[in-house]
Amino acid sequence: MTAPSHRSVDRRSFLGASAGALAASGAASLLAPAVAQAQTAAAPAPPTGPYKLPKLGYAYDALEPNIDAETMEIHYTKHHQAYIDKLNAAVAKYPDLAKLPAEDLVKKLDAIPEEIRTAVQNNGGGHVNHTFFWKIIGPGKGGEPQGKLAEDIIKKFGSFAAFKEALNNAAATRFGSGWAWLVKGPDGLEVISTANQDSPLTQGKTPIVGVDVWEHAYYLKYRNKRPDYVTAWWNIVDWDQASKNYDAA
C-alpha cells in the first residue's frame, strides 16, 4: 500500500483544524447571547414598586450658595432614591401595605409586620422626610412666616427670634444623624428633633418645617460645621408652604 503523502496528511490536518475552529467559533457565537444574558441577570435592577422619587421642582443649583448643586444632586438622586428602593423591597410581599401612602405606613408603624417594621421605619421615614424637605425649601425664599403661623409661633415661643434659637439648638444638639422640626401636636406648636429617619408622624405630630442634619445634607460644603449649614438653611425656608402645612394640620 502506498503511504499517504505529507501533503495529503497536512491538508487533512488543516481541514480538520479549520472545521474545529469553525465549530468552536460557531458555538461561541451561539453562546454569546446566553453569556451576556447571564451576566445581565447577575446584576439585578433595583426593586420597583409603588413608591417613586417625587419631582424636585427646581434645579440642583437653584439653592446656591446655601446648598451647593453637587450636594443637592447626590442627596436627591442617590440618598432619597435609596430609601425608596429599600421601602419598595420591604413591602413587596405585602400588597395591601404597598397600596398605602408612605405617610400612612409611618403613622401606623406599630401595625406594620415585625419582620419589615424596622425597614419601613428607616426607609419609609426616609422617603416621607425627604419628600417633605424638598417642598419646604426653595429658591428665593427665607424671611419670616406671615398670618396665623407667625402669630402662633410668637404666642408659643415669645418671638420669631426665640423660635429660631430653639430650632437651631435642636439641630445642633441632635447627636449623630437626624432631623430638627417645628411640629404641631396635641398641645400646639413645639420644636423637637428625631433620630435617623424617624418621622414626627409616628408620634402623632404633624411637621410644619424641618431641617435634615444628616451629614450627607451638608458635608461637601460645610464639612463638620453643622451650625453654619443650619444658618444658611433659614435663607431657603418656604414659609408659604409652611403655612399651608400648618393650615392643613
Residue ranges and CATH numbers for the domains of the chain are 69-136 (1.10.287.990), 147-248 (3.55.40.20)
Beta bridge partners of 210: 181
Cβ–Cβ under 8 Å, residues 103 and 205:
no
Cβ–Cβ under 8 Å, residues 196 and 177:
yes
68 is in an annotated binding site: no
pTM of the model: 0.81
For the chain, what percent of residues have pLDDT higher than 70?
81
Q: What is the mean pLDDT of residues 157-168?
A: 99
**Of the listed ranges 42-56, 102-116, 144-158, the one predicted with least confidence:** 42-56
* Unique residue bearing C-alpha cell 416621607: 128
pLDDT at 36: 43
pLDDT at 74: 98
- At 237, is the secondary structure helix, strand, or coil? strand
Torsion angle, alpha carbons of 152, 164, 217, 104, to 10: -20
Q: What is the mean pLDDT of residues 42-65?
A: 85
238 is in an annotated binding site: no
| Helices and strands in the chain, H and E counts | 12, 3
127 is in an annotated binding site: no
18, three cell numbers: 479549520
Mean pLDDT of the chain: 88
216 is in an annotated binding site: yes
Helix axis angle for 226-233 and 160-173, nearest 10°, is: 140
27, three cell numbers: 458555538
The string of DSSP codes covering 180-212 is EEEEEETTEEEEEEEETT--GGGGT-EEEEEEE
Q: Cis omega (within 30 of 0) on the bond before 65? A: yes
